[in-house]
Amino acid sequence: MITMHQLSKIFRTPDQDIAAVDTLDLSINEGEIFGIIGYSGAGKSTLVRLLNMLEQPTAGQVTVGDKNMSELKGRELRKARQEISMIFQHFNLLWSRTVKDNIAFPLEIAGMSKQEKDSRVNELIDLVGLTGRGDAYPSQLSGGQKQRVGIARALANNPKVLLCDEATSALDPKTTDAILELLTDINKKLGLTIVLITHEMHVIRKICHRVAVMEEGRIVEQGNVLEVFRYPQEDMTKEFVKQITEPEETMDAVYELIDDENGPVVKLRFVGEDAEQPVMTELVRHCGVGVNILQGKLSKTQHGSYGTLFVQLQGDDEHLKEALRFLEEHRVKAEVLQHD
């Protein structure tokens, strides 16, 4: 659906040339939710603007569907952009217009008749969960409702691709989850390809099928979200995965509990179906060890579950060795933690 080949964007200044996007290759499949994650300055926002040619590439090409966006000009480019919509961190609504009028704006530009326009606007209001709020102004809406208006407006012309540039960064966690659920629902109902730019691994974990990690203008790692969670290769990826699996406050609390006299503290990782099996019950039953559960978390991804559990194992050396072998045989990755 979307292909980037040797894509580069260099910003030239009097002092230096800055490669915001550096000879990047990436493919995104039709109908998938693809996440691009990176810290500020990684080049994410520049990349997403290259997809709809709001930024012209210095080199390389972008193909969306069967169109080479890099070669389009004028009317052809404007027509191609109608199939690529975008939502933003700060909503970009027209504050003097009602919800209905905000959503209708791209339909007015497209020259749609009033009857068709009104029907389409009402359909979109229902789709994004704003029934009854059509006559409200943006100042009368919550942050989540404003983003729902932004999503409805982006869908007005039946695009094939939806670009989301930090679309949940200005929202609280509960509202973020509600918007992510809405995007998932839209993806399933409309078969829409969604490209989601973020610096939050929670957003990736919640709805994305695949993810690419971006650093200094390059893609340093990519893959199925669950596999990236399971086997992060790059240091940058490991940092992002820890946002979900090993929050700093969790690790501080766990390290305070390390006490060799009471048995080793072990970090266990469960992936996919293994995360939902009664492995710990079987461990106690078969290996004769005591298990003191210290901390645990189970996260859902689009491709399965990912669980992290911190336990203290109690027993003699032979039983402890047997327990670690048992965990390995049951595809549970076990790491005995030590004080730094």
What is the DSSP pairing of strand 2-12 with strand 290-301? unpaired
Query: Which tokens is 268 given?
Result: 């266990």
**Confidence (pLDDT) at 257:** 66
Phi and psi based region of residue 285 (left: phi greater than 0; alpha: psi -120 to 50; beta: remaining): alpha
- Stated pTM of the model: 0.83
**Confidence (pLDDT) at 276:** 58
Query: Which tokens is 85 given?
Result: 């919509």
Please check whether residue 208 is in contact with residue 225, taking contact to mean a CB–CB distance below 8 angstroms.
yes
Please tell me the distance from the alpha carbon of residue 245 to that of residue 221, in angstroms, as a whole number: 18
**Confidence (pLDDT) at 279:** 81
Please check whether residue 139 is in contact with residue 133, taking contact to mean a CB–CB distance below 8 angstroms.
no
Q: Which residue has the tokens 């982006």?
A: 154
Query: Which tokens is 162 given?
Result: 């939806």
Q: Return the CATH class of domain 246-336.
A: alpha beta
Strand-by-strand arrangement of the 67-68 sheet: 17-28, 2-12, 59-64, 67-68
Neighbours of 201 (CB within 10 A): 24
Cβ burial of 315 (10 Å; 0-12, 13-18, 19+) is: middle
Instruction: Spell out where 84-145 has E strands.
Output: 84-88
Please tell me the distance from the alpha carbon of residue 301 to that of residue 2, in angstroms, as a whole number: 23
**Confidence (pLDDT) at 7:** 96
Residue 172 makes CB contacts below 8 A (sequence gap 6+) with: 143
Calculate the CA 229 to chain-centre distance: 13
Instruction: Give bridge partners of residue 271 from the DSSP assignment.
Output: 306
pLDDT tens sequence across 105-141: 999 988 899 999 999 999 999 999 999 999 999 999 9
Amino acid in the structure at residue 136: A
Domain with CATH 3.40.50.300 in the chain: 2-244
**Confidence (pLDDT) at 210:** 96
**Confidence (pLDDT) at 220:** 95
Low-confidence ranges of the chain (pLDDT < 50): none
Coil, helix or strand at residue 130: coil
Q: Which fold has domain 2-244?
A: Rossmann fold (3.40.50)
Domain with CATH 3.30.70.260 in the chain: 246-336
Q: Which residue has the tokens 């939050």?
A: 200
Instruction: Spell out where the chain has E strands.
Output: 2-12, 17-28, 33-37, 59-64, 67-68, 84-88, 161-165, 193-198, 210-215, 218-224, 265-271, 290-301, 304-314, 333-336
